Amino acid sequence: MISYDGLWDVMKRKGVTQYTLIKKYGVSPGQITRLKRNESVSTHTIEMFCKILNCDVADIMRYIPD
């Protein structure tokens, strides 16, 4: 399973809210919901978050063996 728990930590540290992602950066609420549920998202979405948050992929997601 892929966990996006790191994303929420990075967002908190950088002072970026879900509202900011939606209003300022045009992230769809559906994508945020998918990330909250640890559902699959495209690599484009991951890249977009890395650009917005100026971080590495490993900062926002990690693999957890089943």
Q: Would you state the pLDDT for residue 36?
A: 96
For domain 2-57, give the fold: 434 Repressor (Amino-terminal Domain) (1.10.260)
The domain locations on the chain are 2-57
Q: How far apart are CA 44 and CA 13, in angstroms?
A: 23
The pTM for the full model equals 0.87
Taking the C-alpha atoms of residue 53 and residue 61, their distance in angstroms, rounded to an integer, is: 13
pLDDT at 66: 85
Residue 18's nearest CA partner among 52, 59, 57 is 52
pLDDT along the chain (66 residues), means of 10: 96 96 96 95 95 97 93
In one-letter notation, the amino acid at residue 15 is: G
Q: Which residues pair with 2 in a beta bridge?
A: 63
What's the pLDDT at 32?
Answer: 95
